[in-house]
Amino acid sequence: MLRQLHSLPGLIAALLVVVIAVSGAILSLDPALERAGSTVPAAGQISVADLTQTLADTYPGAEQIERKPSGAIVVYYSDGDRVGADVVNPRTGQRIGAHEPSSFSRWVKNLHRSLLLDTAGRAAAGIVAVLMLVLTISGALLLAARLGGWRQMLRPIRGTPGQRLHGELGRAAFLALLLSALTGAYMSATTFDLIPAGSAAAPEFPAQVSGGPPRPVGELPAFQATDLNDLRELVYPFADDPTDVYSLTTRTGAGFIDQASGEFLAWQAHSSARRFHQLIYSLHTGEGLWWLGLILGLAALAVPIMAVTGVLIWWRRRRAMPKFSANSAPNAAQTVILVGSENNSTWGFARTLHAALIQRGERVHTAPMNQLAAGYRRAERLLILTATYGDGGPPASASRFLARLDRFPEAFRIPFAVLGFGGRQFPQFCGFATMVDEALAAKGWPRLLALDTVDRQSAQDFARWGDALGEAIGLELELEHTPARPRTTTLELVERSDYGADVQAPTAVLRFQAPARQGPAAGWLRKRHRLPRFEPGDLVGILPPGSNLARFYSLASAARDGMLEICVRKRPGGLCSGFLHALKIGDTIEAFIKPSPGFRPAAGKNPVILIGAGAGIAPLAGFIRHNAARRPMHLYWGGRSPQSDFLYEAELDGYRRDQRLTGLHAAFSRASERSYVQDKLVADRMHVREMIKQGAQILVCGGRDMASGVRQALNEVIESLGLDIATLQLEGRYREDVY
C-alpha cells in the first residue's frame, strides 16, 4: 500500500517534479547572488532618513525606493522624460548598476510556478507540490521500514546501485525536500485562496493632509525612526502634488506620512497571518535566507537523479515479478499463494500451482511474501511456497514477511500450508520455511497440511504435495511442473589453469569470453559479442547440458576485464563441476548473470578483510584486482598444500607488490604447519581487532563448514571490543557468500 502510494505519484509526476525541482534549484542561486552584490549595513547604522537625505543629491528625481530581501537598495527615478531603476550603495547613494531583473530568471520563475501556463499551470504546480509531499513522506516511511525503524535510519542501505543511490540521496535530502514541498504547497494554496495569506497591511488613504510646505526628506521624524534594514518600500509623493503623501512599507506594517509634518497620518501593522505568509515565502524562496536557499537548491538537484533511479527500480521490480493470468485481488481470492524466492525459480512452481487452481475454478491471489496484505476477506486458505537464503534466512521476496506477520490482525485465522524449497545437502535445509510454518502455528492458525519440502526443485516432490493438497481441499490437482529454462548467453572457454590434483582437490580457474562474431558484420564490428554486465562478487548461473537447473559460481572478474572468470572445484559425481572440468579451450557453456550487489566492498577507505577457502577465493581475488584506490585489503585464505592448490599464487604476489593487496595470510591443511584459515585469524587477532575498530568490512566466501568456523573464531577475536558478528552483519560490515 505504502509502496503504491510512493510509486504511483512518482510515475505520474516524475517529469513535472523534475522540471519544478530543477527550475527551483536554478532560482535558489538568485538570493545568494543578489546578496553577494550588495552591502548591508548593521542594524541601527543607517535610518531611512539618512538614505533619503543622501539620495536627495544623487537622485533628485527619486520616486520609489525598494529594499530587496537580500538587502540590495533599488531606487526608481525619473529624469526629465526618462525613467530608470538603479541599485545604489546605501551609504553613499551612488549608483552600483542598473536594476535589470534577468529575463532568464523571470522565465525560470514562471516555469517553476506556472509551467509557463498561467492559472492552469499554477494549479498544476500546486498539485506537483502536493505529490512531492506525498513522495517525500511515503519515501521516508518506506526507507524506515526497509532499514528496520526510525532509529536505524542512518544504517547503510543495501541493494542494487540504483536502490542505494535512491535511498541515500532521499535520506540526505529528506528535510530540505520536505520543507520545499510543504512551503510550496502552502503558497499554492494561498494563491487559490484555499488558505488565507493575510493581505498586506493597507491603511486607508488619509482624507486630510496638513498641506504645509514640504520639509526636506532627511528631516522627517517618521523616516528618522525607521531603520534601513526594516524598510521594504518607500513611495515618494507624486511630483508637485502638495496633497499627496509618502507611502512607507516596513517589516512590521504600512502607513502614510505627511510631506510637511513628517509624522504618520495612518499606520497599520501586518496581520499575523501575513507575517506567517512572509516567513513561509522566505523559507521557500530563500529570499533573505540565501544560505537556506542554497541548501534547498542543492537538495532539489537530487530530485532528477531520484526520478530516474526511482523509475528504474519500479521497472526492475515490475519485470522481476512474474505475470499471472487471472490473479484476483487479495480480498476477492479464495486461495492466497505467497512466494518467497531468491532467484525466481520458486516462482515457476507458484505459477504451476496458480494455473492448476484456476483451472479448477478457484479464485487465486498470488504475490511475493513481502506483500502480505492487511487482510484477505474471502480467503479460505493460505499456501506459502518459499526458498531459504543462506543459513536459514529469508529469501529476497520474503525479507519483511515475519515483521509484517507480527502486525497482521490477530483475529484472522485460516488454514495454511507451507512448502519449502531447498537442497538437502545443506544443513539448514528449508530453515526459513520451518520458521514461517512455526510462526503461523504460534499465531494459532490451523495447519491445512504439515510442512513439506521440495528437494532440488524435484518435480516429483512437488506433484506429491499437490496430491496431498488436492485431497485436503477436495479438488483434483495435478501439478506437472517443468522448470522454465532461464535466458542464457553462450560463452566460450578461452583459458584454464588447473590446481590441486595432487591433494585430491582438483580446482580449475576458468576464463570465458563471448564467442567471436560470425558473418559479414565480423569485419567492422568488434571481434567478439559483448559480455553481459557483471562485477566481481556477482554470480554466474551455468546450465550443464541436459539440465534446466542452474548451478551458481561467484565471479572473479568484471565485464570490463573482457572475460568472465570463475574458480571451480571438481566434486565427486558433480554434474556441473564435472562438465566444467571436462571443458577444452573453445568449448562453450550456457550461462546467465545473477547480480549479488550485497557481496562486494562498501564504498570508502576503510580496510577490507577478505576471508575464504579453496575455490571461494574467486570473488576475493576479483575485489583485490579491482582495488584501484589501494585501500587496505587483507586476504586470509585456506588451501591444502602450497605446492599444489595455492590458487592465484602468482597474481596475488603481483597485487602485493603494487599494493592492491596489503596483507596475505595463507593457511594450508596438508602442509607441515597444518592450519586452517580461522587459525590464521586467531593468530593475527591483534591486527584483526585493530582493523575492525577502524571500521573494517569483512567479506567471507567459501563452504559452510569454513564459514561457521570463521564466525566462531571471529566472535572470540572481537568479543573484547564488545562486538559480535550479528552486530557487524546488521551494520552491513559482515557479508557472506556461502555454498
Question: Can you give the binding site for other proteins, defined by CB under 8 A?
Answer: 63-64, 76, 78, 81-83, 85, 101, 103, 106, 110, 199-200, 202, 204-205, 235, 238, 241, 244, 247
Query: Judged by CB, which is closer to other proteins: 196, or 654?
Result: 196
Query: Judged by CB, which is closer to other proteins: 257, or 491?
Result: 257
CB of 205 to other proteins, least distance (A): 5
CB 133 within 8 A of CB 8: no
CB of 316 to other proteins, least distance (A): 44
Query: Judged by CB, which is closer to other proteins: 150, or 205?
Result: 205
Per-position DSSP letters for 161-228, written without gaps between them:
HHHHHHHHHHHHHHHHHHHHHHHHHHHHHHHTTSS---PPP-PPPPS-----PPPPGGG-HHHHTSBG
C-alpha span between 702 and 679 (Å, rounded): 16
C-alpha span between 378 and 335 (Å, rounded): 9
CB of 103 to other proteins, least distance (A): 5
**Collapsed DSSP state (helix, strand, coil) of residue 439:** helix
C-alpha span between 568 and 645 (Å, rounded): 12
Instruction: Give me the residues paired with residue 366 across strands.
Output: 337
CB of 220 to other proteins, least distance (A): 19
Cell numbers that stand for 339 in this block: 512466494
Q: Which of the 8 DSSP states describes residue 237? A: P
Edge-first strand order for the sheet with 663-668 is 663-668, 633-639, 608-613, 697-702, 734-738
Query: Judged by CB, which is closer to other proteins: 63, or 380?
Result: 63
Q: Could you tell me how far CA 261 lies from the centroid of its own chain? A: 65
Q: Which residues of 175-188 are buried (b: 16+ CB within 10 A; e: fewer)?
A: ebbbbbbbbbbbbb
CB of 539 to other proteins, least distance (A): 59
Torsions phi, psi for 210 (to 5 deg):
-65, -30
CB of 23 to other proteins, least distance (A): 16
C-alpha span between 492 and 495 (Å, rounded): 9
Query: Judged by CB, which is closer to other proteins: 118, or 467?
Result: 118
CB of 60 to other proteins, least distance (A): 16
| Residues 6+ away with beta carbon under 8 Å from 174 | 136, 139, 140
Query: Judged by CB, which is closer to other proteins: 169, or 209?
Result: 209
Query: Judged by CB, which is closer to other proteins: 58, or 191?
Result: 191
Query: Judged by CB, which is closer to other proteins: 96, or 235?
Result: 235
Query: Judged by CB, which is closer to other proteins: 238, or 291?
Result: 238
CB of 54 to other proteins, least distance (A): 20
Tally of CB atoms within 10 A around 36: 9
Query: Judged by CB, which is closer to other proteins: 238, or 412?
Result: 238
CB of 274 to other proteins, least distance (A): 11
CB 73 within 8 A of CB 244: no
Query: Judged by CB, which is closer to other proteins: 103, or 720?
Result: 103
Per-position DSSP letters for 244-283, written without gaps between them:
--EEEEESSEEEEE-TTT-SEEEEEEPPHHHHHHHHHHHH
Taking each helix axis as running N to C, give the angle between helix 649-657 and helix 617-625, from 0 to 180 degrees, rounded to the nearest 10.
30
Q: Which of the 8 DSSP states describes residue 129? A: H
Closest by CA to 728, choosing from 717, 625, 738, 739, is: 717
CB of 247 to other proteins, least distance (A): 7
Edge-first strand order for the sheet with 364-368 is 364-368, 335-340, 381-387, 416-422, 452-455
CB of 100 to other proteins, least distance (A): 9
Query: Judged by CB, which is closer to other proteins: 248, or 369?
Result: 248
Query: Judged by CB, which is closer to other proteins: 199, or 497?
Result: 199
CB of 601 to other proteins, least distance (A): 52
Q: Which amino acid is at 544?
A: P
CB of 183 to other proteins, least distance (A): 19
CB of 96 to other proteins, least distance (A): 17
CB of 58 to other proteins, least distance (A): 17
Q: Could you tell me how far CA 642 lies from the centroid of its own chain? A: 45
CB 384 within 8 A of CB 417: yes
Which helix (H) or strand (E) segment is 148 a member of? none
**Collapsed DSSP state (helix, strand, coil) of residue 582:** coil
Query: Judged by CB, which is closer to other proteins: 150, or 238?
Result: 238
Distance between start and end Cα atoms, the chain: 36
Query: Judged by CB, which is closer to other proteins: 274, or 413?
Result: 274
